[in-house]
Amino acid sequence: MSSSCPMVTSILEENSKVGEGCKIINPYAGCSHGCVYCFAYRRALKYSHFWWGAEFKVLNYSDWRNARPIGNAVELVEKELNETQDGIKSILLSSITDAYQPLERELELTRTILEILTEHRIPYLIATKSDLVLRDLDLISKGQGVVQFSITCEPGYQAKEFWEPYSSSIEQRIKP
């Protein structure tokens, strides 16, 4: 995967599986969590050049884990919300990445998007495997945000270490 940031033509995506009026924002291309079962990684091997342009073709697992920020994400979120806000009931972050990549710690790209959603009073759901989301509780606790953590477990077996080797530990996800 290229080391520069992909630029996309639109950022608010629709998917019938998430319900009418719900849009999806994927602020990063790729996902450093590198879950073994990841459907997005498998689809990216075929379609990454459609999703993020020819320079970001994902060739292998290492490319996939080298997650990059979408370079024009903030600009497009503002533009597209101003154009289409009336029909938007909620936003999901995210479907083909985790909005809390390690780079997010310094870039604050997802945080900036949450600030915009808060200004527009649009409810959002964050599905993440990173405890970095705790950094943004001040925004999320304003009442429009919900955080969803999934936990992978299998009795007598280190399932998380096998299936989700690079995401936050189970303990980090459920700590008070």
Q: In angstroms, what is the minimal distance from the CB of 24 to ligand SF4?
A: 12
Give the number of other Cβ atoms within 10 Å of residue 107's Cβ: 15
Identify which of 1, 2, 12, 8 has the alpha carbon closest to the alpha carbon of residue 90: 12
Q: Which is nearer to ligand SF4, 97 or 110 (CB)?
A: 97
Q: In angstroms, what is the minimal distance from the CB of 37 to ligand SF4?
A: 7
Identify which of 81, 72, 126, 119 has the alpha carbon closest to the alpha carbon of residue 99: 126
Q: Which is nearer to ligand SF4, 63 or 98 (CB)?
A: 98
Q: Which is nearer to ligand SF4, 32 or 81 (CB)?
A: 32
Q: Which is nearer to ligand SF4, 35 or 109 (CB)?
A: 35
CA–CA gap between residue 61 and residue 63 (Å, rounded): 5
Strand segments (E) across 6-89:
13-14, 22-24, 28-29, 68-69
Please report, as ranges, the residues that interact with ligand SF4 according to CB under 6 A.
31, 33-35, 38, 40-41, 97-98, 129
Q: In angstroms, what is the minimal distance from the CB of 164 to ligand SF4?
A: 6
Query: Taking the CA atoms of the chain, what radius of gyration do you get in angstroms?
Result: 16
Q: In angstroms, what is the minimal distance from the CB of 68 to ligand SF4?
A: 14
